[in-house]
Structure 1
Amino acid sequence: MNISFIGAGNVAWHLAPALENAGHHINEVYSRQLQSARRLVSNLYDAEIHSELNFAGSTSRLFILAVPDDALESVCSQLVLPEEAILVHTSGSCSIDRLQSWMAIYSDVPVRTGVFYPLQTFSREQPLLDFAQIPLCLEATDPDTEDELVTLGQAMSRIVYLVSSSERLLLHLAAVLACNFTNHLFSLARNLTVSNGLEFSLLTPLIQETVRKGLSVPDPALVQTGPARRNDQTTIQAHLSLLNDQPLTADIYQLMTRSIQQQVRQRHTDVID
């Protein structure tokens, strides 16, 4: 299948080569940042930079919107596609109804719409990821487009699901908790250690074992440890004293402590009941 990318950021950086490795041809890449388009094209076989959002003459069948959520409508309002092209976005939070309504408003020709959402964290600094292990959450507005997206997804990944917009939004929320917030906690831990002359790498084995252990059981709450789990108020207060000059981090510490303690109480209540 001939495919064009609109956007050349983190998602496109990994998704475009994965599609090529699955036997598809990346035809064109458009980005408002010309340097980003050049960088992505240089990582592909024979894709070309497309300098505008008018793709009326394109031979591509599938157009992938890999742009920030807050830019989606603006891009759609300027986008010109061939008749019966398939337009998908890669967003975890934007509903398919919004994409369909934008194309109904802005497109002069019929366009089929869908969602091709890889449930993973992407950055250009990391090595190219193996999509065989990445869940692909797909959605389409008609059965034929759905079939094509499923075929495309199954050529790349062993984990392909049809997921509604409401389910995808919930998954995206869970992903923010599991990925973005967790990484931020890593960053806070690094700031705390480095600013006090300690090496963050001392925590590496602990972080690795925490992730391994949490994924080895049906519910990570089963292996929760720490002062909040034990209701060790002496240690909790000692930790908070160390955070006197970091009120925001102290707030996060207290909120996480309350959340863990509430979860422990709830589990205890469920066992009694």
Structure 2
Amino acid sequence: MRSRWSRSRVLAEAAFPAGALVVHTAGALPLDVFAPYANLRGGVLYPLQTFSPGRVIDWTTVPICVEAGTPADQQLVEQVARSLSNVVEVVATPQRQVIHVGAVFACNFTNHLLGIGHALLQEAGLPFALLEPLIQETVQKALAQPPFTVQTGPAVRHDTATLDRHRALLLEHPQWQQIYNQLTASIQAT
């Protein structure tokens, strides 16, 4: 669902003091979003983390990507970031946007795939906890080595019989079957 408040509308309608340093916290939004507002100084303080109600985050470990329009503003934004985290990186808009799309793959898409796994086990009357050791080992391996080098499963083995059985099991979920086919093709092409 889209918010009725666009970022540019917030900037246009907010009352900032002239010359104020205003920072945004978005990974995908460029620094130049502030360009139309000559009376503002712009910066970015992007915490590379997922946030959900009720979850406690150790801010000292959260990577924070910072960027600002001038060296003085850069120093100020870095100072604020360092008051929150021990991991602060100066990252320009193009690289931050790559980080953001990478984060969507690593976090959002992974969570969606875990949700599909959860739903499939639930439909079969099985507890999702059965997958927990597998999920933990997968993440630990992917953090220890380049993830493509530790890929396992029927797609990387080109195990057509197993792939076909999986596709048959997913007939009742055509969208999930489509995701399965696309990921299988991507794994096999990598």
Q: Are the equivalent residues in 1 in contact too, given 2:34–2:40 (CA < 8 A)?
A: no
Q: Equivalent residue of 1:155, what SS?
A: helix
Q: Equivalent residue of 1:138, what SS?
A: strand
The aligned counterpart of 1:254 is 181
Structure 2: stretches of 5+ with no match in the other structure: none
* CA 247–70 in structure 1, closer or farther in 2 if over 3 Å, else same: farther
The aligned counterpart of 1:81 is 16
- Equivalent residues in 2 for 1:34-183 (5 A)? 71-101=6-36, 103-104=37-38, 110-127=39-56, 129-183=57-111
- Equivalent residues in 2 for 1:216-255 (5 A)? 216-217=144-145, 219-255=146-182
Q: Equivalent residue of 1:91, what SS?
A: coil
Q: Are the equivalent residues in 2 in contact too, given 1:87–1:112 (CA < 8 A)?
A: yes
Q: Are the equivalent residues in 2 in contact too, given 1:69–1:91 (CA < 8 A)?
A: no
Cα displacement (A) at 1:70 = 6.2
Alignment deviations for residues 10-39 of structure 1 (CA, whole Å, 9 cap, x no partner): xxxxxxxxxxxxxxxxxxxxxxxxxxxxxx
TM-score (normalised: structure 2): 0.95
Counterpart-to-counterpart distance in 1, 2:117 and 2:110: 11
The aligned counterpart of 1:184 is 112
Runs of 4+, deviation exceeding 3 Å: none
Letter in 2 for 1:121: T
Counterpart-to-counterpart distance in 2, 1:203 and 1:133: 27
Letter in 2 for 1:89: H
Cα displacement (A) at 1:161 = 0.9
The structure richer in helix per residue is 2
Counterpart-to-counterpart distance in 2, 1:124 and 1:168: 25
Structure 1: stretches of 5+ with no match in the other structure: 1-67, 105-109, 264-273
Q: Equivalent residue of 2:15, what SS?
A: coil
| Higher Cα Rg, which structure | 1
Q: Are the equivalent residues in 2 in contact too, given 1:132–1:157 (CA < 8 A)?
A: yes
Q: Are the equivalent residues in 1 in contact too, given 2:65–2:90 (CA < 8 A)?
A: yes
Counterpart-to-counterpart distance in 1, 2:181 and 2:149: 21
Cα displacement (A) at 1:83 = 2.5
Letter in 2 for 1:124: P
**Which is further off, 87-96 or 153-162?**
153-162
The answer to whether residue 126 in structure 2 is matched with residue 198 in structure 1 is yes
Indicate the RMSD between aligned Cα atoms, in angstroms: 1.4
**Which of 124, 135, 141 matches 1:213?**
141
Q: Percent identity?
A: 40
Cα displacement (A) at 1:89 = 0.4
The aligned counterpart of 1:54 is none
Cα displacement (A) at 1:82 = 1.6
Letter in 1 for 2:110: T
The aligned counterpart of 1:14 is none
Number of matched pairs: 188
Letter in 2 for 1:162: V
Counterpart-to-counterpart distance in 2, 1:254 and 1:111: 48
